[in-house]
């Protein structure tokens, strides 16, 4: 029987695993207003916009692309855009750009303009009124069976140890093979942690152009590292990786790319960029624990997986990063380390360590993981969704700040 998830149908043909109203403030000095509206209106989530002043044009485009991506994510049922006044600020962050992109989805969206509302306090009242209307409108969309081809998953690994490359990441790779085989989409990243394994990954590129884009991204990262006078291989692996048993960046990279499975690599994307089609995509970005979930959500992932090694964790380990402000995609934690799972059961959603010692196979665990993801996509909460805490937003920007 063909696997299906219960998703919220969207006018553009996509399907959401969640159904929230996103509040996007432009520019940054409206973050307070967006957060105040979200605290008063159930079913909303406010994005915290980073500063765009003094940023390069490239970085401003990244900020705008990421914010728009969060608004058009399938998990969003409607969008409230909060702006200061018409034609304010840099053109890359203009109201016109956001409106044009949001219109393409066919989802409901509204705009509250502070200068036209009569100031901040009146805009707060107007924002609450409009947001409540949008929540009611979004709630009229009900879940229905959706094929896996409408599901996109983003994957990151962190606190890597030997179990990450041996079992944790391979299980995710198997899940990706199954998902993509069913017509779905997978995204992975961390350019730093492809170094030393890029020659293997590039062989899986769907076209020579994709292979070149991957190799160019890795080469650029190495060049930037050299320009600082630092040896990237003395910065990465990080101390926790080394304490847990990883010896070189190349060794870490070989384990890291295992989460990409075995399907062809269809493209290399910029931070916050949406895949142009289905299949497997690599995002050229940094390894930050809080930056990548934001990036994957902006790229359209309905669920983000975080594979933990954690061999150097204290006992017991406290909750991991719960969410980045404005993330509309549930964060799901996994590990292939049985000790990590035991230390952080309150935060872990899936235990791949059952593949050790003649237990379950990678294939069996990959199939079980996909079933768990389908369950989450159909409405079951992840452990992190049960916490109200949100970690600060981190967006991957090249700089410099001028």
**10 three-class SS:** coil
Task: Summarize the confidence of residues 218-234 as an average pLDDT.
Answer: 89
* Residue 134 maps to a domain: yes
Does 51 share its domain with 133? Answer: yes
Does 212 share its domain with 357? Answer: yes
* Residue 395 maps to a domain: no
DSSP, residue by residue, 311-358: TT--SSPPP----BTT--S-EEEEES-HHHHHHTTTT-SEEGGGGSTT
Domain limit, last residue, from 140, 163, 188? 140
Task: Summarize the confidence of residues 301-306 as an average pLDDT.
Answer: 97
Does 350 share its domain with 378? Answer: yes
Number of domain units in the chain: 2
CA-to-CA separations, 15 to 66, 99, 133, 397, in angstroms, rounded:
19, 21, 22, 29
Question: 41 or 289: whose pLDDT is higher?
Answer: 41
State both tokens at 77.
């049922």
Query: How far, in Å, CA of 79 to CA of 70, rounded?
Result: 10
What is the pLDDT, as a whole number, of residue 88?
87
What is the pLDDT, as a whole number, of residue 367?
98
**Per-residue pLDDT for 323 more than 70?**
no
Query: Which of these ranges, 17-26, 156-165, 274-283, 324-333, has the smallest mean pLDDT?
Result: 324-333
* Predicted confidence (pLDDT) per residue in 334-344, tens digit: 999 999 999 99
Task: Summarize the confidence of residues 156-183 as an average pLDDT.
Answer: 95
What is the pLDDT, as a whole number, of residue 147?
98
Confidence of residue 310 (pLDDT cuts 50, 70, 90): confident
Does 309 share its domain with 201? Answer: yes
Does 234 share its domain with 319? Answer: yes
**Do 217 and 268 meet the contact criterion of CB atoms below 8 Å apart?**
yes
Identify the bridge partners of residue 158 per DSSP, sorted by sequence position.
308
What is the pLDDT, as a whole number, of residue 1?
72
**Per-residue pLDDT for 324 more than 70?**
no
Does 382 share its domain with 256? Answer: yes
Confidence of residue 288 (pLDDT cuts 50, 70, 90): confident
**Per-residue pLDDT for 319 more than 80?**
no
Query: How far, in Å, CA of 33 to CA of 38, rounded?
Result: 9
What is the pLDDT, as a whole number, of residue 105?
92
* Residue 304 maps to a domain: yes
Q: What is the pTM of this model?
A: 0.95
Domain of 265 in residue numbering reads as 147-386
Does 27 share its domain with 60? Answer: yes
Task: Summarize the confidence of residues 52-78 as an average pLDDT.
Answer: 96
**Do 214 and 198 meet the contact criterion of CB atoms below 8 Å apart?**
yes
What is the pLDDT, as a whole number, of residue 248?
87
CATH assignment of the domain containing 113: 3.40.50.2300
Domain limit, last residue, from 125, 140, 155? 140
Task: Name the pairing type of β-strands 15-16 and 4-9.
Answer: antiparallel
Query: How far, in Å, CA of 154 to CA of 188, rounded?
Result: 6
Q: In what order do the strands lie in the sheet with 15-16?
A: 15-16, 4-9, 144-147
Task: Summarize the confidence of residues 50-66 as an average pLDDT.
Answer: 94
Does 135 share its domain with 203? Answer: no
* Residue 397 maps to a domain: no
* Predicted confidence (pLDDT) per residue in 371-380, tens digit: 999 999 999 9
Mean pLDDT of the chain: 93
Does 155 share its domain with 129? Answer: no
Does 120 share its domain with 203? Answer: no
Phi and psi at residue 27, to the nearest 5°: -90, -165
* Predicted confidence (pLDDT) per residue in 105-152, tens digit: 999 999 999 999 999 999 999 999 999 999 999 999 999 999 999 999
State both tokens at 276.
């142009």
Q: Give every CB contact of residue 160 below 8 A, 6+ residues apart in sequence.
A: 237, 241, 244, 246, 252, 255, 256, 309
Query: Left (φ > 0), alpha (ψ -120 to 50) or beta: where does 372 sit?
Result: alpha
* Residue 128 maps to a domain: yes
**Per-residue pLDDT for 326 more than 80?**
no
Does 233 share its domain with 100? Answer: no
Mean pLDDT comparison of 120-129, 187-196, 220-229, highest-scoring range: 120-129
**Per-residue pLDDT for 95 more than 80?**
yes
* Residue 400 maps to a domain: no
Domain limit, last residue, from 95, 122, 140? 140
Does 125 share its domain with 152? Answer: no
Question: 155 or 323: whose pLDDT is higher?
Answer: 155
Task: Summarize the confidence of residues 265-285 as an average pLDDT.
Answer: 97
Task: Summarize the confidence of residues 292-315 as an average pLDDT.
Answer: 92
């Amino acid at each position: 029987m063909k696997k299906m998830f219960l998703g919220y149908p969207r006018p553009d043909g996509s399907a959401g695993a969640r159904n929230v109203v996103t509040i996007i403030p432009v520019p940054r000095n409206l973050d307070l207003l967006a957060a105040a509206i979200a605290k008063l209106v159930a079913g909303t989530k406010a994005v915290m916009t980073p500063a765009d002043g003094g940023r390069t044009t490239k970085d401003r485009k990244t900020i705008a692309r990421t914010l728009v991506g969060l608004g058009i994510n399938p998990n969003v049922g409607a969008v409230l855009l909060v702006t200061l006044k018409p034609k304010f600020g840099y053109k890359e962050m203009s109201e016109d750009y956001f409106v044009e992109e949001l219109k393409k989805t066919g989802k409901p969206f509204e705009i509250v303009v502070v200068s036209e509302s009569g100031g901040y306090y009146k805009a707060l009242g107007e924002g609450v009124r409009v947001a409540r209307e949008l929540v009611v409108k979004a709630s009229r969309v009900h879940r229905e069976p959706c094929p896996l081809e409408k599901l996109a998953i983003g994957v990151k690994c962190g606190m890597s140890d030997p179990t990450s490359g041996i079992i944790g990441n391979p299980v995710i790779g198997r899940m990706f093979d199954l998902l993509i085989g069913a017509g779905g989409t997978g995204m992975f990243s961390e350019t730093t942690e492809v170094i030393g394994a890029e020659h293997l990954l590039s062989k899986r590129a769907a076209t020579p152009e994709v292979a070149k884009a991957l190799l160019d991204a890795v080469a650029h990262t190495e060049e930037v590292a050299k320009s600082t006078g630092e040896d990237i291989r003395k910065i990465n692996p990080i101390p926790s990786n080394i304490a847990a048993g990883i010896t070189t960046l190349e060794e870490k990279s070989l384990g890291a790319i295992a989460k990409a499975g075995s399907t062809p690599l269809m493209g290399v994307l910029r931070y916050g960029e949406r895949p142009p089609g289905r299949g497997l995509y690599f995002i050229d970005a940094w390894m930050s624990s809080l930056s990548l979930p934001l990036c994957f959500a902006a790229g359209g992932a309905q669920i983000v997986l975080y594979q933990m090694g954690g061999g150097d964790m204290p006992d017991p380990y406290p909750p991991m990063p719960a969410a980045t402000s404005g993330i509309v995609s549930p964060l799901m934690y996994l590990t292939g380390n049985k000790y990590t799972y035991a230390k952080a059961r309150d935060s872990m959603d899936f235990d791949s360590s059952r593949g050790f010692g003649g237990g379950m196979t990678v294939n069996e665990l990959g199939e079980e993981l996909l079933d768990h993801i389908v369950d989450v996509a159909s409405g079951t909460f992840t452990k992190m969704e049960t916490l109200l805490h949100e970690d600060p937003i981190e967006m991957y920007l090249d700089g410099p700040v001028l």
